[in-house]
Structure 1
């Protein structure tokens, strides 16, 4: 098992791309060219991170990782709030990595616990050819997907791996029917689809939306966080037509960050 620091090192290099700031409805508000460099110093015992957003530059150096971040063995990661509380801002960043590309997404909630803003970050390593993936559509996700999930924990207990299955189809009324299986647990739900927003609204207290975004990305989050209820934030990335990654950051009913899950899945059947 690779250590957390060794997994961080999978992100070394100069990443070129853009920071696209979005409204809670996925509307583009600003798009800023970016260069993010991660360089190893002192035999990779220290990381120097240089962030260039347009004309602005910020430099960070660190030699340890905080409690708010976890890395998977391939370098994918998430960092963010470790506790949900009243009248405090809340959010998380997700970073997925595949070959010479990274896809990162930041979801932020305001002090009233309303979804406030998102930032989509698309990057490729300097010296490599960027690939433009199309904007995600519902039809791109229909069918049966099978894969494997790996869950890691903030208390660094041993990770867990288990099979996954996801089935997505549209009914005659155009509603999205979803069945998710994690190990031996299956969850079914329905959603309405309007343009680039999928809206799960069976429970008025737990309205969840999925935004379909550029570069095959998707962002899943509650529209409003509820205290004393479990919650999760999720980011997806359609890397190839039949290959997808998803990352889920889960919180308990006490608002505590309890786990981070990376799902790698392949489509095994399409909808006719």
Structure 2
């Protein structure tokens, strides 16, 4: 099995891009060019991170990974808090890697648990083409998607791999009907659509929104995180018209981080 350190090393290189901040409603707040260098030292026993942004450099060195950080084989990863606590900020980063590009999303909730801000980070390896996709549209997602999910765990148990199906279609009133199947379990939910926001609001206490973002990205978040309620954070990336990746970071009813799932799916039909 590939070690977490070997998975981390998939990210070595110089990544050029930008940090773009959005409000929960998708309003652009600021866009800052960035350059992030991940350099292997001592025969890759150590990795030095240098982030240049707004004329300032931030440096970190790693000799191991762990805590709230987990990697997949292709280098995709998530880092964030391992425990939701009362009266404290909460959030996580979810990062997808595909060939010469990375798409990273940071979701932040304020001390009252309210969704506060998104930071979308779009990067490409220096010297390669930065071929971004347009802002995601609802029509880009409609249809049936089939794929494979890999779930890894912070307690280092063996990963789980299983098939997935996602069906997205509009009903006669313009609402979105979503049917998600993981293995032998299927969940169906209904959402209303307003501009770039898809809102699953059937349960007023557990409202979840999907925000459509530039570069084929989407951010799925609860509008409010609450103690004694399970939750998940998700990023999606439409890499090609019929190829999409999603990453899901899940917490249980105790507020404990319990798993990280990477889904790679292809559209097999239109609805």
Q: Please report the TM-score for the alignment, with normalisation by the length of structure 1.
A: 0.99
Residue 86 of structure 1 corresponds to which residue in structure 2?
A: 86
The residue correspondences of 1:231-246 to structure 2 (distance < 5 A) are 231-246=231-246
Q: Deviations over 1:62-83 (max 9, x none)?
A: 1011310000000000000100
Task: Name the CA distance, whole Å, in 1 between partners of 2:193 and 2:118.
Answer: 20
Residue 51 of structure 1 corresponds to which residue in structure 2?
A: 51
Q: Please report the TM-score for the alignment, with normalisation by the length of structure 2.
A: 0.99
What 5-or-longer segments of structure 1 have no aligned partner?
none
Residue 170 of structure 1 corresponds to which residue in structure 2?
A: 170
Residue 270 of structure 2 corresponds to which residue in structure 1?
A: 270
**Is 2:216 aligned against 1:216?**
yes
* 3-state secondary structure, aligned to 2:186: strand
Residue 188 of structure 1 corresponds to which residue in structure 2?
A: 188
Per the TM alignment, residue 54 of structure 1 is displaced from its structure 2 partner at its CA by: 2.3
Task: Name the CA distance, whole Å, in 2 between partners of 1:64 and 1:71.
Answer: 12
Q: Deviations over 1:167-211 (max 9, x none)?
A: 000111110000000000000000001110000000011000000
Task: Name the CA distance, whole Å, in 2 between partners of 1:171 and 1:230.
Answer: 29
Task: Name the CA distance, whole Å, in 1 between partners of 2:226 and 2:88.
Answer: 13
Task: Name the CA distance, whole Å, in 1 between partners of 2:72 and 2:98.
Answer: 12
* 3-state secondary structure, aligned to 1:150: strand
Task: Name the CA distance, whole Å, in 2 between partners of 1:71 and 1:205.
Answer: 32
Residue 32 of structure 2 corresponds to which residue in structure 1?
A: 32
Task: Name the CA distance, whole Å, in 1 between partners of 2:52 and 2:42.
Answer: 23
Per the TM alignment, residue 26 of structure 1 is displaced from its structure 2 partner at its CA by: 1.2
Per the TM alignment, residue 85 of structure 1 is displaced from its structure 2 partner at its CA by: 1.1
After the TM superposition, which parts of structure 1 deviate over 2 Å for at least 4 consecutive aligned residues?
A: none
Task: Name the CA distance, whole Å, in 2 between partners of 1:75 and 1:66.
Answer: 14
The residue correspondences of 1:1-272 to structure 2 (distance < 5 A) are 1-271=1-271
Task: Name the CA distance, whole Å, in 2 between partners of 1:96 and 1:53.
Answer: 21
* 3-state secondary structure, aligned to 1:165: strand
Q: Deviations over 1:18-73 (max 9, x none)?
A: 00011111111000000000000000000000001121111111101131000000
The count of residues paired between Structure 1 and Structure 2 equals: 271
Task: Name the CA distance, whole Å, in 1 between partners of 2:94 and 2:27.
Answer: 19
